[in-house]
C-alpha cells in the first residue's frame, strides 16, 4: 500500500503562487489608498479655488449695494492684487499679506480660514485680480504639497461692472 502526498516541490510552488497573489493584492491596496488621499486633496483644492472666486464676486456685489446707498467704486477692496492676494469667506477685502499664508481648517466651524485657527491645512490660496475698462479678470491658484511633490489647481473667471458699463 502506497501513500500518496505532496512532494516538497509541489508545496514550494503552491506557497510561491500564494505569496505572489497576496503581494500583488497588498501593492494594489496601498496604491488605491495613496491615490485616494491625492484625489481628496485635489478635490479640496478645487473647492478652495472656486471659493476664492466666490469671495471676489461677493466683494464686488457688496460694492454695488454700497454704491447705490453711499457711492463708491465697484472694485473697492479688490485693488492691488495683480501680484496676488488672499482672503477667506469672512473678509470684506483682499489682502496682499495673506498671499503667502496657509489656510487652516477650523473643524468646529467647518471652514478654511486664516488667523487663529488650530493648525495649517497645507493649502495656500493666491487670488490675482487684473482690471481694464470695466472687466475684472480673476485667477485663483491653490497650492499644496503631498509626499514631497508640489501640486496646484487654478480657476479663472471674468467679472464685469454691470452698473456702469464701459463707454
pLDDT, tens digit, for every residue of 104-135? 888 887 888 887 655 678 899 999 999 888 78
65, pLDDT greater than 80: yes
* Average pLDDT over all residues of the chain: 85
Element (H, E) at 60: helix 8-70
Please state, in angstroms and rounded to a whole number, the distance separating the CA atoms of residues 152 and 167.
38
Contact, 140 vs 49, CB < 8 A?
Answer: yes
Of residues 76 and 35, more confidence is placed in 76
Amino acid at each position: 500500500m502506497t501513500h500518496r502526498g505532496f512532494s516538497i516541490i509541489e508545496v514550494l510552488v503552491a506557497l510561491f503562487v500564494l505569496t505572489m497573489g497576496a503581494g500583488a493584492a497588498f501593492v494594489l491596496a496601498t496604491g488605491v489608498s495613496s491615490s485616494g488621499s491625492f484625489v481628496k486633496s485635489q478635490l479640496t483644492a478645487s473647492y478652495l479655488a472656486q471659493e476664492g472666486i466666490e469671495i471676489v464676486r461677493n466683494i464686488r456685489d457688496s460694492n454695488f449695494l454700497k454704491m447705490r446707498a453711499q457711492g463708491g467704486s465697484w472694485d473697492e477692496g479688490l485693488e492691488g492684487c495683480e501680484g496676488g492676494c488672499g482672503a477667506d469667506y469672512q473678509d470684506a477685502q483682499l489682502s496682499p499679506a495673506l498671499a503667502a499664508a496657509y489656510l487652516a481648517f477650523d473643524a468646529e466651524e467647518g471652514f478654511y480660514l486664516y488667523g487663529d485657527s488650530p493648525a495649517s491645512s497645507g493649502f495656500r490660496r493666491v487670488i490675482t485680480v487684473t482690471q481694464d475698462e470695466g472687466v475684472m479678470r480673476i485667477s485663483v491658484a491653490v497650492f499644496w504639497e503631498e509626499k514631497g511633490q508640489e501640486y496646484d489647481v487654478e480657476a479663472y473667471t471674468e467679472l464685469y461692472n454691470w452698473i456702469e458699463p464701459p463707454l
